[in-house]
Amino acid sequence: MAVTVDIKQLLEAGVHFGHKTSRWHPKMAPYIHSKRQDSHIIDLTKTVEGLDKALPFLTSVAASGKQVLFVGTKKQAKDAVKATAEKVNQPYVTERWIGGMLTNVATVNQQVKKLKDLEKRMENGDLEKRYNKLEVQRFAEEIVELNEKYGGIKNLNGRPGAVVVVDVLADHNAVKEASVLGVPVVGVVDSNADPTPIQYVVPGNDDAIKGVQLLLDYFGAAVAEGVAKKGDA
């Protein structure tokens, strides 16, 4: 059963609140409903239209067995992004987008391999057998550091089928790398961002955590539906 979008929920979560009119991007004009005081109001019928295209796409990606990479590195969104991705067992980036995460796979894979290897050796006691306490402590710190950078993509198998970005301005490097590789982007696009590089534009407030959480719930449900379809196939 396809994920149903409720415009009332979007309104209650404040998804329609755009940025100040002075900060707007002219290419967002088709998605703007009106101005209120000195801020833009996003047209929620356009948000629903965007979700009605993006959600079945995410379901089809997950049903095909490909992964969906969730990206959200800004402070107020990162916990929600991580929780959503983990709930549907998908990769994520919430700390910092490291250049080449998608386009320089060899280097990234090297670091991920190192992380997995250290974790395994720490778990099975190999490090404790071979090194003194101080050295083991250094390895433990290295594991934490590597996990911060690469923990979310430890189980990313090659190129994802789609990238979900909750703030296309803050994470423009993720959008850029996905574009280079031809990986479609589902992006929450606020009134101050350029929607042009985004294949599946979901116009909406990318700052209010309630709104971001609601959109993530929709994205997560769409992916979960695809994973279930794959399981039934």
Task: Note the pLDDT tens digit of each residue in 90-142.
Answer: 999 999 999 999 999 888 999 999 999 999 999 999 999 999 999 999 999 99
φ, ψ for residue 165 (rounded to 5)?
-120, 125
Q: Which domains does the chain possess?
A: 14-102+159-226 (3.40.50.10490), 107-153 (no CATH)
In this structure, what DSSP letter does residue 206 have?
Answer: S
pLDDT of amino acid 229: 86
Encoding tokens for residue 135? 């050295």
Res. 233 pLDDT band, cuts 50 70 90: low
Tens digit of pLDDT for each residue in 30-74? 888 988 888 889 999 999 999 999 999 999 999 999 999 999 999
Using alpha carbons only, what angle is made at residue 232 by residues 229 and 233, rounded to the nearest 5 degrees? 85
Q: Which amino acid is at 175?
A: V
CB 43 within 8 A of CB 32: yes
The whole-chain average pLDDT of the chain stands at: 93
Q: Quick one: average pLDDT of 197-206?
A: 95
Residue 37: left (phi > 0), alpha (psi -120 to 50), or beta?
left
CB 203 within 8 A of CB 189: yes
How many Cα neighbours within 13 Å face the side chain of 1?
A: 2
Residue 83 pLDDT > 70: yes
